[in-house]
Amino acid sequence: MKPKAIVLLSGGLDSSTCLAVARERGFETHALSFDYGQRHNYELKAARRIAESLGAAEHRIFKLDLAQWGGSALTDPGLQVPRAEDSRGIPITYVPARNTVFLALAGAWGEAIGARTIFIGVNDVDYSGYPDCRPGFVGAFAEALRQGTRAVDEGWMWEIAAPLQNLSKAEIIRLGTKLGVDYGLTVTCYCADEEGRACGKCASCALRREGFQAAGVPDPTRYL
Amino acid sequence: MKPKAIVLLSGGLDSSTCLAVARERGFETHALSFDYGQRHNYELKAARRIAESLGAAEHRIFKLDLAQWGGSALTDPGLQVPRAEDSRGIPITYVPARNTVFLALAGAWGEAIGARTIFIGVNDVDYSGYPDCRPGFVGAFAEALRQGTRAVDEGWMWEIAAPLQNLSKAEIIRLGTKLGVDYGLTVTCYCADEEGRACGKCASCALRREGFQAAGVPDPTRYL
């Protein structure tokens, strides 16, 4: 029997690559997406297709409202998503403690089904502005989860796998291409339309486009 | 201006005492309850009244479905809540990673409104069966939250205050009574009816009843 892993799957390029890596490493994958009030809601449809195309054993879309207290351009209609992110400080698109919440729920589901590994597509080469994408956070969270679950009584450790942590966007794209990820299914743009077509102008679109160029892989993104 | 604190408020005896302690310590209190699929749903009505009676600046009931993946007698209608809890091992009423999830959401709200303190009514004297009620967990989580939020960039620490950690049930009741908690509003029983009347027979009821006896405080609990 394969060991189980929870894979956080946003429907974007990084988390889809993560799902492919988890499968490649021999895990039965349980993909977890969040309907949290994000304005780029199309990514949930994308996540559904990606989970299916990469053979996830199960895919859950967990509903919770992180928009209710504001604090981010990604959930607050009153704030504008900037075209190019300011490179200093924490970006306005940061959603307070989002990955802490997502990993906590991944841990809850994992504990319920007997998974001891969680995959998360965080990355700090191309984009290190979010505090909850850094290695220090991932390690500290794994320890908190151990202390707060059966792991501490049963004497095992949670593995929070962040296989993309040190890869450039181009390296991620090359890795995923090798593992059979259909990047045409993935959505990165925060402003994608109902059909999943990207704006081509925001900071996320720019990073993605440059990644395909640097990887020497044709860009399958559908632009508006 | 008073500093803000998030207070996790279940509607039970311990968390209500915690809310009173937070007020006593000079915080503007923001109470957070969860509608997570628990069978003892009456406690949310109780939480509403307690937050009001203890002068919370705000009270949120956050909705999320922790029952969807089972794993606990508190959320799974197919499992029976035991009358007396087995004293060894993790009880069947443990909800996987519940406090990890609750603290993560408290951190998210706290970050959005500028609170740096979270109160949680965990206690390990009378009832140490849940891993996510122990001091090791609380400390590890505070560090994970620091790493995963603005705190790490801005150079401050989250305080996760667990003022009841080392108190007996009787000591908690004496403390809350002194601070003006109306325990008649609180509900502890996992099987309380729609009117909030306690069964008087489950492990939680027994602990609570013994607490009032040991404290020498009249028990205001309404029993079935």
Among B59, B19, B141, B33, which Cα is nearest to A97's? B141
**CATH number of the domain to which A16 belongs:** 3.40.50.620
Confirm whether B190 is domain-assigned. yes
* pLDDT computed for residue B88 by the predictor: 58
Residue B145's closest CA among A126, A110, A143?
A143
Q: Which residue of B has its CA nearest to A58?
A: B69
Exposed e or buried b per residue across A214-223, where buried means at least 16 C-beta atoms within 10 angstroms of its C-beta: ebeeebebee
Cα gap A162→A135, rounded to integer Å? 8
- What is the residue type of B25? R
Residue B153 has pLDDT above 60, yes or no: yes
Q: Name the residue with higher pLDDT: B79 or B222.
A: B222
Total tally of structural domains belonging to chain B: 1
Question: At B4, phi and psi to the nearest 5?
Answer: -95, 145
- Where is pLDDT greater, at A80 or B170? B170
> Which residues in chain A land under pLDDT 70?
77, 79-89, 126-128
Residue A75's Cβ-side half-sphere holds a number of Cα atoms within 13 Å equal to: 19
- Comparing B77 with B214, the larger pLDDT belongs to B214
Assigned domain for B85 exists:
yes
Give A204→chain B minimum CA distance, Å: 21
Residue A224 resides in a domain? no
Domain residue limits at A44: 4-215
> Is A196 contained in some domain?
yes
* Residue given tokens 């305080």 in the structure block: B159
CB contact under 8 A, B150 and A90: yes
Please check whether residue B222 lies inside any domain of the structure: no
Looking at residue A127, what is its pLDDT? 57
Chain B CB contacts of A68 under 8 Å are: 60, 62
Whether the CB of B67 is below 8 Å from some CB of chain A: the reply is: no
The reply to whether residue A64 touches residue B66, judged by beta carbons under 8 angstroms, is: no
| Residue A39 vs residue B18, higher pLDDT | B18
Q: What is the pLDDT of residue B127?
A: 57
Nearest to A169 by CA among A151, A153, A183: A183
Q: Which of residues 102-141 of A touch B (CB under 8 A)?
A: 103-105, 107-109, 111-113, 131-132, 134, 136-137, 140-141
Q: Is residue A223 part of a domain?
A: no
Residue B52 counted as domain residue: yes
Which of A68, A96, A71 has the alpha carbon at shortest distance from B151?
A: A96
Please state the pTM of the whole predicted model.
0.92
Closest CA–CA distance from residue B57 to any residue of chain A (Å) = 15
Least confident span in A190-204, B33-47, B71-85, B144-158: B71-85
- Tell me the range of A69-73, A82-86, B120-124, B187-191 where mean pLDDT is highest: B120-124
Q: Does B62 touch chain A (CB under 8 A)?
A: yes
ipTM associated with this complex: 0.91
The verdict on a CB contact (< 8 Å) between A108 and B89 is no
The residue in chain B having the minimum alpha-carbon distance to the alpha carbon of residue A135 is B147
**Residue-by-residue DSSP string for B27-67:** PEEEEEEEESS-S-THHHHHHHHHHHHTT-SEEEEEE--TT
Enter the tokens of residue A212. Answer: 């395909």
Whether A162 and chain B come into contact, CB under 8 Å, resolves to no
